[in-house]
């Protein structure tokens, strides 16, 4: 790390026990950083256990932040600053660091017992393990307890302030203001005056400690470049927050209430938690007894005239597939959000992956097509929620929106959009005619093939719907062979028709033809963006996966090689081979960790050698 100098951007990793308040410290640091004009991206990396045994390597919770001049699109490859709260955190994080990185160590936790728990035979501070790094040590636990002594807290209560003590030190290092964090503490602990004051004291004490002679010999302030961001109003947002607001906004655009039905599952639950706070915006939340009940209640709500939404992760989505078929058959609108995680089975619940693409595109019994969309960044979850709802209501179909565990938790600065720029979402009208209500309820729009949204309670439109095959014209049950063919064709044509309404595919950057194009989808947007910028190759990122944008084949046809980095075993490659008959070069990483920029850069460079 280039100390004592202004730097463009810097990657910081905070690591400690899962009970140390690391995630909180990280998100507060991100916000105060943004207020100072920096762009940022974060990567919360936490264990599946809520409170894993203290001091163990599998209990390490980490939060990585990349901040500085923009555009910052990933949480960074190698941390340049590591804050290690205990030996286990050091042990787990060390392999990620490049030589020369700065490590701030909490001395107090380097006890003989904790060293053994972390699997160290000797003390890494003394045995040469850290020779290639710059080390700053401080007795953070002890100093923090001293600072909050006057509040008369128990040892464990006082100890809980230490993340704010460390945050104070960090804020000094990066010359950030304390106000935003202070305000947050005051709000959060408004009814616990002692803890509030103690945490604020710890924050200031940490800041003062870093500033004094005690540490400045080893540590100096780092001035970060300000980001060159588009003018506008910004906030920090995670994918779960953005998706929640997006669903509420979609309801407003459609002048319809939203009923969100889900069952708790990692990493999808943050969306449920967010939505519970939006009742005043016409959003209801129902915690169902299981994944199947969740989608079924959402279908029931859609049948009743609200926008039914359900959300889960891969294993839960698997349970919902039969009900998706019902919504396809009954031609009801529904939004299904999948926060993908590592699998198969329970897999890696807290780690990210993109391996549910086959499930989304192909994973149902029978010929049961439905639209599949994907969000690329935390902020983009907002507009994709609106897009998914728009398609669901226009075509009267369930829509799958793919996000992932990384997006759910990762925060980024987000330019607050102008709501007036979004078109209202309109419903198909019931045709005026002398036909039977059954037929009128299934008279489809010629272009979108969406039927009118007729709901119980409407007078004079009594009709029956269900999962049995129905006549393409009258909507009555039909076992006629030729009719089943027509209905199967209609269901396929309806999903194909979505392509007539969506934007053409664009090239994110780079030449519009040439040797190499990198194609991505979902949360790999960040690392691919940076890698293609650095290497100057073209970048295409998909938001619509089923159907694909009409011009995608034509764009990709202009390149000799199509490189496809995916956090799965090559699923989008298969889909493009299927839909476009194109051969691509899959580049897969299935470790539960996002791609590093340099991994993609190296891949591009090796490909160039072949060109």
Positions in 266-325 near another protein (CB under 8 A)? 278-284, 286, 288-290, 292-293, 296-306, 308, 322-323, 325
Cis status of the peptide bond prior to 433, with omega within 30 of 0: no
Residues 345-364 that bind another protein (CB under 8 A): none
Residue 411 to residues 27, 43, 329, 408, Cα–Cα distance (Å)? 8, 8, 38, 9
Residues 35-74 that bind another protein (CB under 8 A): 35, 37
Q: Does 257 bind another protein (CB under 8 A)?
A: yes
SS3 283: strand
Q: How far is the CB of 445 from another protein (least distance, A)?
A: 22
Residues 362-401 that bind another protein (CB under 8 A): none
Among 455, 483, 574, 593, binds another protein (CB under 8 A): 455
Q: Using CB under 8 A, which of the segments 81-89, 160-168, 253-261, 573-581 binds another protein?
A: 253-261
Q: Using CB under 8 A, which of the segments 14-22, 32-40, 108-116, 163-171 binds another protein?
A: 32-40
SS3 413: strand
- Residue placing its CB nearer to another protein in the complex, 27 or 106: 27
Bridge-partner residues for 334, per DSSP? 398
The answer to whether the CB of 560 falls within 8 A of the CB of 517 is no
User: 423 — alpha (psi -120 to 50), left (phi > 0) or beta?
Assistant: beta
Residues 515-574 that bind another protein (CB under 8 A): none
Q: How far is the CB of 415 from another protein (least distance, A)?
A: 8
- Residue placing its CB nearer to another protein in the complex, 321 or 574: 321
- Residue placing its CB nearer to another protein in the complex, 299 or 540: 299
- Residue placing its CB nearer to another protein in the complex, 303 or 525: 303
Residues 417-446 that bind another protein (CB under 8 A): 417, 419
Separation CA 107–CA 350 (nearest Å): 29
Residue 571 dihedral angles phi and psi, to the nearest 5°: -75, -45
User: 450 — alpha (psi -120 to 50), left (phi > 0) or beta?
Assistant: beta
Measure the CA dihedral 398/421/271/310, to 10°: -10
Give the binding-site size for another protein (rule: CB under 8 A): 75
Q: Using CB under 8 A, which of the segments 58-66, 203-211, 212-220, 455-463 binds another protein?
A: 455-463
Cis status of the peptide bond prior to 539, with omega within 30 of 0: no
Residues 164-193 that bind another protein (CB under 8 A): 180, 183-184, 187
The answer to whether the CB of 198 falls within 8 A of the CB of 155 is no
Among 477, 490, 503, 554, binds another protein (CB under 8 A): 477
Closest CA relative to residue 344, chosen from 525, 74, 586, 568: 568
């Amino acid at each position: 790390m280039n100390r004592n100098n202004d730097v463009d951007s810097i990657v910081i990793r905070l690591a400690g026990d899962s009970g140390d308040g690391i995630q909180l410290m990280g998100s507060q640091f991100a916000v105060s950083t943004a207020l100072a004009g920096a762009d940022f991206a974060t990567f919360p990396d936490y264990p599946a256990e809520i409170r894993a045994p203290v001091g163990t390597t599998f209990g390490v919770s980490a939060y990585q932040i990349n901040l500085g001049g923009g555009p910052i699109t990933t949480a960074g490859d190698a941390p340049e600053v590591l804050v290690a709260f205990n030996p286990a955190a050091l042990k787990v994080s060390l392999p990620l660091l490049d030589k020369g990185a700065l490590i701030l160590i909490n001395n107090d936790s380097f006890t003989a017992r904790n060293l053994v728990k972390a699997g160290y035979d000797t003390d890494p501070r003394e045995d040469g393990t850290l020779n290639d790094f710059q080390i700053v040590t401080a007795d953070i636990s002890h100093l923090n307890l001293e600072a909050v002594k006057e509040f008369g807290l128990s040892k464990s209560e006082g100890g809980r302030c230490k993340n704010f003590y460390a945050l104070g030190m960090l804020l000094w290092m990066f010359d950030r203001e304390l106000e935003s964090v202070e305000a947050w503490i005051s709000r959060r602990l408004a009814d616990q005056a002692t803890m509030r004051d103690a945490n604020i004291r710890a924050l200031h004490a940490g800041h003062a400690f870093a500033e004094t002679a005690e540490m400045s010999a080893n540590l100096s302030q780092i001035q970060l470049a300000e980001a060159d961001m588009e003018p506008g109003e910004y906030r920090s947002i995670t994918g779960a927050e953005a998706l929640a607001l997006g669903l509420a906004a979609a309801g407003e655009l459609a002048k319809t209430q939203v009923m969100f039905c889900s069952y708790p599952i990692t990493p999808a639950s943050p969306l449920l938690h967010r939505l519970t706070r939006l009742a005043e915006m016409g959003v209801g939340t129902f915690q169902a007894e299981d994944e199947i009940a969740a989608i079924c209640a959402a279908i029931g709500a859609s049948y009743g005239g609200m926008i039914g939404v359900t959300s889960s992760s891969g294993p839960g989505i698997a349970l919902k597939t039969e009900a998706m078929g019902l919504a396809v058959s009954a031609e009801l609108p529904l939004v299904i959000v999948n926060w993908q995680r590592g699998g198969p089975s329970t897999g890696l619940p807290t780690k990210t992956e993109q391996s549910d693409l086959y499930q989304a595109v192909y994973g149902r019994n029978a010929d049961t097509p439905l639209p599949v969309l994907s969000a690329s960044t935390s902020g983009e979850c907002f507009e994709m929620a609106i897009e998914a709802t728009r398609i669901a209501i226009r075509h009267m179909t369930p829509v799958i929106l793919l996000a992932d565990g990384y997006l759910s938790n990762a925060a980024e600065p987000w330019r607050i959009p102008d709501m007036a720029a979004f078109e209202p979402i309109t419903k198909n009208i019931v045709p005026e005619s002398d036909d039977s209500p059954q037929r009128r309820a299934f008279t489809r729009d010629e272009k979108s093939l969406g039927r009118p949204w007729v709901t119980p309670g409407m007078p004079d439109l009594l009709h029956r719907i269900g999962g049995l095959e129905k006549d393409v014209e009258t909507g009555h049950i039909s076992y006629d062979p030729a009719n089943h063919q027509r209905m199967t064709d209609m269901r396929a044509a309806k999903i194909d028709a979505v392509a007539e309404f969506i934007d053409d595919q664009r090239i994110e950057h780079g030449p519009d033809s040439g040797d190499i194009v990198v194609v991505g989808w979902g949360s790999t947007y960040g690392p691919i963006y940076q890698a293609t910028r650095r290497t100057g190759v073209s970048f295409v990122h998909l938001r619509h996966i089923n159907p694909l944008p009409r011009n995608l084949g034509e764009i990709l046809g202009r390149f000799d090689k199509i490189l496809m980095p995916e956090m799965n075993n090559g699923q989008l490659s298969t889909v493009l081979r299927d839909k476009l008959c194109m051969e691509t070069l899959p580049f897969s990483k299935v470790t539960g960790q996002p791609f590093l920029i340099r991994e993609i850069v190296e891949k591009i460079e090796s490909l160039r050698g072949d060109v």
